[in-house]
Chain A
Amino acid sequence: MDRLFDVVTVFSLILIVWVLSSVRRSHIRVEYSVSWLLAATVLLVLAQWRSFDDWAASALGLPDSFLALAIFAGAAFLIVLYRQSLRISGLKDSSITLAQQLAILEFRLEALNEKVQAPNAR
């Protein structure tokens, strides 16, 4: 059982390092990295705080404390994924509006150019 907690500890450390290195290389913007860093830190703390896991397992009626940790980890990452989905949805809406407005502007610019060039062509 201890080995499982160690695996989670190592996993959360790797995740923290990975996210930080992605931020450093500008692959993730800082504001989008916060949720992942927070989730990984929570996971790390819970993997080390065995007394809390034992208490949570008994409070939830779970047979062992690792199950409690797994439930917390699952919930934390679901929240992160949901937050990212919200952001992606917002960005998609913005990009669609921008693309439509850009196309309309280009259309109107082209029409203006045609109007300007038409008398010159005569």
Chain B
Amino acid sequence: MTADAKRVLVLIPAFNEEAAVGSVIQEVQAAMPGTPILVVDDCSVDATRSHAHTAGAKVLALPHHLGLGGCVQAGYRLAYELGYEYVIRVDGDGQHDPRDIPTILKALEHGDCEMVIGSRFVDGQGSHTSFLRGAGIVFFRAVLRPILGRPVHDPTSGYVGVNRTALALFSSTFPLEYPEIEALVVLQRKRFRFVEVPCRFRPRRAGRSTITAVKSLYYIIHVLLGVFVNILKFEGRRK
């Protein structure tokens, strides 16, 4: 692997995404030719692993189901060990449009932040969001505003890019369930910076979201508790 190939890795966490993962990989290959793609298979019971292999991605196969946070962290750990400079996470369900990866990478390479969030709201689009999720986003924006000391438009977005500094942090410390919001507080705790760039989001191609209506209340309580615990560890705010 050349030094240049060690720069960027596209990370795709996937759990039972056989219907979508192959086309997501093809879209990433079209958007970022030659960029290594790592699918982290969270012990799927369908053919996610073989579809990812066939489509040309490397697969990190977890021996048992860890949930989204554990799955993403495994990918971050491997990327860090392999020496990658930038890792861009794209969900395996097809909701994130890989054509926006260069936008995220460009913002990361600009160098004034450790994490870039692909946001569906930063330019006022906000499409393809259910009522419940939309309400949750508004709620968590309000919760996070005083904690982060700045607004965040799309705190639940999983379409993120991180540089090596954030990668080192997330390799050792990463929220295990519903990680997106807590990860922002973890970043803030370490005085890291993030920026949001506009990205296109689409409806998921197959399967169902893990956050159902019934789980929403649990999600809110869990994330609020996680945010609160992280505030207790707060080490200061970067201006």
Q: Which residues of A are at the interface with B, using a C-beta cutoff of 8 A?
A: 95-96, 99-104, 106-107
Q: Which residues of B are at the interface with A, using a C-beta cutoff of 8 A?
A: 58-64, 66, 70, 73-74, 77-78, 81, 176
Q: Enumerate chain B residues within 8 angstroms of A106, measured Cβ to Cβ.
A: 61
A-B contact count (CB 8 A): 34
A104 touches which of B59, B64, B74 (Cβ 8 Å): B74
Q: Enumerate chain A residues within 8 angstroms of B61, measured Cβ to Cβ.
A: 103, 106-107
Are A104 and B66 neighbours in the complex by a CB distance under 8 Å?
no
Q: A104-B78, A107-B78 are in contact. Are A99 and B63 (CB under 8 A)?
A: yes
Complex Cα gap A95–B176 (Å): 12
Q: Enumerate chain A residues within 8 angstroms of B70, measured Cβ to Cβ.
A: 96, 99-100
Q: Enumerate chain B residues within 8 angstroms of A107, measured Cβ to Cβ.
A: 58-61, 78
Complex Cα gap A92–B58 (Å): 27
Q: Which residue of the partner chain B has the closest CB to A111? A: B58
Complex Cα gap A55–B60 (Å): 63
5 contacts between A and B (CB under 8 A): A99-B74, A102-B63, A103-B74, A107-B59, A107-B61
Q: In angstroms, how far is the closest chain B Cβ from the Cβ of A31?
A: 24
Q: Enumerate chain B residues within 8 angstroms of A96, measured Cβ to Cβ.
A: 66, 70, 176
Complex Cα gap A99–B69 (Å): 13
Are A100 and B73 neighbours in the complex by a CB distance under 8 Å?
yes
Complex Cα gap A58–B10 (Å): 68
Q: Which residue of the partner chain B has the closest CB to A107? A: B60
